[in-house]
Structure 1
Amino acid sequence: MAGAVLRGDEDLLTGRWIGLVVLAGVLSGCGGGDTLERFDGPTMGSHYSIQYVRPPAGPGPKTVQAEVENILAEVDRQFSTYRSDSDVERFNALPANSCEVMPGPVLALIRVGEQLSVQSDGSFDLTVEPLLNLWGFGPQSRAEQVPSAEALAEVRQRVGHDHLRIEGDRLCKDAAVEVDFNSIAAGHAVDRIAARLQALGIDSYLAEATGELKAVGRKPDGSAWRIALEEPRDDRQVAERIIEVNGYGVSTSGDYRKYFERGGQRYSHTFDGRTGAPVLHNLASVTVIHPSAMMADGLSTLLLILGPERGWDYAQKHDIGVLFVLRDGERFVVRTNDAFERMTRGKTQ
């Protein structure tokens, strides 16, 4: 992800592969007694952070934090590929021609994955976990490697969204596929948190989990939630652009934090489901602005897989707000579309 960094009053928020860096601001009241509250904590092997405007009779941070952490714990139980007792891992352990009753959210995200797979001609695929493991990026990986053609061909027989089907409340598979929701589960968690905050009477907030975020409303002083998008560098964090967000989810996917090199070739953790291999183009990161944090999450991955030409055309066709960062030798080139500029009001750092 070209990062975003969320810092207290200046709001600095980093993207998914970088992790969240929060420099705490002063939590102060303003006219009418509204207060900016903030809390954070660990989740899903990473971090979450919530800032919200509390009206005089609104819920306190301990109450809100308990609600948020209940949601995050449930998402982890349902979607984690790092715990054997999660709903997803129970399904992944089943052999071919098996079915398993799944919670509604799991089935809903399977349908989202199918939609994104169809729209990308199979490039986006929720079943690439065996490929991630084979290349050295997955939860069962042993070592980073460029696999043999024979090993790749064998694993690809167990990859493909068309091997999945839903029968009532059951998820079924006709091959020994394994599902990995890492490209949309965090955004799904943020959308659920946002809905819960709204139900609690909180209508101004910035909710983030593992780098996915949604910002709604304004801070007590009337200023906007501001997010810094990072230049995709391996050595240090450099703010590329600051944007103001209200009513949108923001997600950035990039290939510059998780990769290895062999024989002068760079292999990233971003896989094309059609080829079974990491993408090799010069698109370093994609930031997506979307009303749904889950869709921003999934679309940033989809567009990064499609690359600078196919991804740009897809975004234009579907009116998706995007910021592309492309490698050009030793420098980076930034490209945004009209939809992105409509949804944000930013400035170059």
Structure 2
Amino acid sequence: MAAMVLRRDEDLLTGRWAGLVMLAAVLAGCGNDDTQEVVGGATMGSTWSVKYVRHAGLADPGQVRREVEGILGEVDRQLSTYRNDSDIERFNALPGDSCQAMPASVLELIGVGEKLSVESEGSYDLTVEPLMNLWGFGPQGRQEKIPASAAVAEVMQRVGHQHLRIDGERLCKDAAVEVDFNSLAAGYAVDIIAARLQAMGIDNYLAEATGELKAQGSKPDGSPWRIALEAPRDDRQVAERVIEIDGYAVSTSGDYRNYFLQDGRRYSHTFDARSGAPVLHDLASVTVIHPSALMADGLSTLLLILGPQRAADYAQTHDIAAFFVERADTGFVIRSSPAFERLVGAKN
């Protein structure tokens, strides 16, 4: 893996460092923007945007907005853990030994989650919502502090993908598990948006939701879509690495925004389902590039959970294009997988 060291930014200690994250705004091009349309709005507690090149006969921005908002509304109705009437929250409210008919999208994501759980030896799991609530990070979280070991042990009886099974068009559970799609939903939505844009004849676009994004084609002047990975700086934003993407999705997961400190230790919203606790390693963020935004989203979370060495081994074994930033005593160690360097190294 390629590696380099960045100096430490003291803002990291107070959680204000944005990390090595994707800038939602695309770096400015040098061409005429008259044919580049931009639409956006709010979704999933954050924002979405679509930039696309409009030629004669293509959809106007209002039509694109309606299509995207329709997709995001459907994703919210199916996958949101913040509304009681969503498909997944109605399932979560059921007791053990229950089944519920589910849309194909839910069953697809359950299958992806099971695959990632098996490949991570159980560290990644879609059923950690009760743990997140217990530690204060979930939709029903009430406090941010270390819970009693007995409380963790009780909740762990309701955690584990092995308690889920698909029966035809139904999702079933043999324990009162609760499913949380936060590590997959935005990426899934971006893939659906990208597919809809292409079905509308839009071949040059950058679609983004809550920071997960996918780009296809080029900007109006023919230059590629360029995404900045931001380096930690205490004085201004600096693009540590700028990558060009065409036909790929990009996702970043990090532990620097949602966490609490107790007794000098950082406890983030990133959970290892095997331990029932937030991860305590020094891997601060992971960026993944993949043809599927859904898989980029899930894999960036999985790698962040695994920690520096396990994540590096997984990325190499599975040929994942991944970019890591790790805390160290002397600064930040930045590493990239061989697949990442093959994909972007030659031209970025």
* TM-score (normalizing by structure 1): 0.91
- Distance change in 2, residues 1:217/1:107 (3 Å): same
Say yes or no: does 1:3 pair with 2:21: yes
Instruction: Identify the residue that residue 200 of structure 1 maps to in structure 2.
Output: 200
Q: Does the 8 Å contact 1:232/1:256 carry over to 2? A: no
Percent identity of the aligned residues? 67
Q: State the Cα deviation string for residues 99-152 of structure 1 (Å, max 9, x = none).
A: 111111000000000000010110000000000000110000001010111000
Indicate the SS of the match to 1:141: coil
Gaps of 5+ in 1: 12-24, 30-34
- Distance change in 2, residues 1:8/1:243 (3 Å): closer
Instruction: Identify the residue that residue 231 of structure 1 maps to in structure 2.
Output: 231
Q: Distance in 1 between matches of 2:275 and 2:233?
A: 27
Indicate the SS of the match to 2:47: strand
Say yes or no: does 1:63 pair with 2:63: yes
What one-letter code is carried by the residue in structure 2 that aligns with 1:10? Answer: A
What one-letter code is carried by the residue in structure 1 that aligns with 2:22? Answer: A
Q: Does the 8 Å contact 1:244/1:346 carry over to 2? A: no
Instruction: Identify the residue that residue 22 of structure 1 maps to in structure 2.
Output: none
How much does 1:241 deviate?
A: 1.5
Instruction: Identify the residue that residue 325 of structure 1 maps to in structure 2.
Output: 325
Q: Which segment drifts farther, 337-346 or 109-118? A: 337-346
Gaps of 5+ in 2: 1-18
What one-letter code is carried by the residue in structure 2 that aligns with 1:215? Answer: A
Indicate the SS of the match to 1:303: helix
Instruction: Identify the residue that residue 263 of structure 1 maps to in structure 2.
Output: 263
Q: Does the 8 Å contact 1:27/1:37 carry over to 2? A: no
How much does 1:347 deviate?
A: 8.5
Instruction: Identify the residue that residue 48 of structure 2 maps to in structure 1.
Output: 48
What one-letter code is carried by the residue in structure 1 that aligns with 2:309? Answer: E
Q: Does the 8 Å contact 1:289/1:296 carry over to 2? A: yes
Instruction: Identify the residue that residue 32 of structure 1 maps to in structure 2.
Output: none
- Distance change in 2, residues 1:237/1:146 (3 Å): farther
Q: Does the 8 Å contact 1:84/1:90 carry over to 2? A: yes
Indicate the SS of the match to 1:166: strand
Q: Distance in 1 between matches of 2:20 and 2:180?
A: 22
Say yes or no: does 1:210 pair with 2:210: yes
Greater RCO structure (CA 8 Å; 6+ sep): 2
Q: Distance in 2 between matches of 1:200 and 1:126?
A: 33
- Distance change in 2, residues 1:232/1:76 (3 Å): farther
Q: Distance in 2 between matches of 1:49 and 1:27?
A: 20
How much does 1:243 deviate?
A: 1.0
How much does 1:229 deviate?
A: 1.0
Q: Distance in 2 between matches of 1:127 and 1:26?
A: 47
- Distance change in 2, residues 1:292/1:260 (3 Å): same
- Distance change in 2, residues 1:69/1:26 (3 Å): farther
Q: Distance in 2 between matches of 1:53 and 1:154?
A: 53
How much does 1:330 deviate?
A: 5.2
How much does 1:6 deviate?
A: 3.5
Q: Distance in 1 between matches of 2:95 and 2:189?
A: 29
How much does 1:3 deviate?
A: 0.9
Q: Distance in 1 between matches of 2:329 and 2:347?
A: 25
Q: State the Cα deviation string for residues 6-27 of structure 1 (Å, max 9, x = none).
A: 335528xxxxxxxxxxxxx997
Instruction: Identify the residue that residue 168 of structure 2 maps to in structure 1.
Output: 168
Say yes or no: does 1:289 pair with 2:289: yes
Say yes or no: does 1:337 pair with 2:342: no
Instruction: Identify the residue that residue 310 of structure 1 maps to in structure 2.
Output: 310
What one-letter code is carried by the residue in structure 2 that aligns with 1:89? Answer: E
Q: Distance in 2 between matches of 1:118 and 1:264?
A: 33
What one-letter code is carried by the residue in structure 1 that aligns with 2:264? Answer: G
Q: Does the 8 Å contact 2:272/2:279 carry over to 1? A: yes
- Distance change in 2, residues 1:277/1:249 (3 Å): same
How much does 1:246 deviate?
A: 0.9
Instruction: Identify the residue that residue 74 of structure 1 maps to in structure 2.
Output: 74
| Cα RMSD (Å) | 1.9
Q: Distance in 1 between matches of 2:234 and 2:127?
A: 28
Q: Does the 8 Å contact 1:58/1:201 carry over to 2? A: yes
How much does 1:57 deviate?
A: 1.5
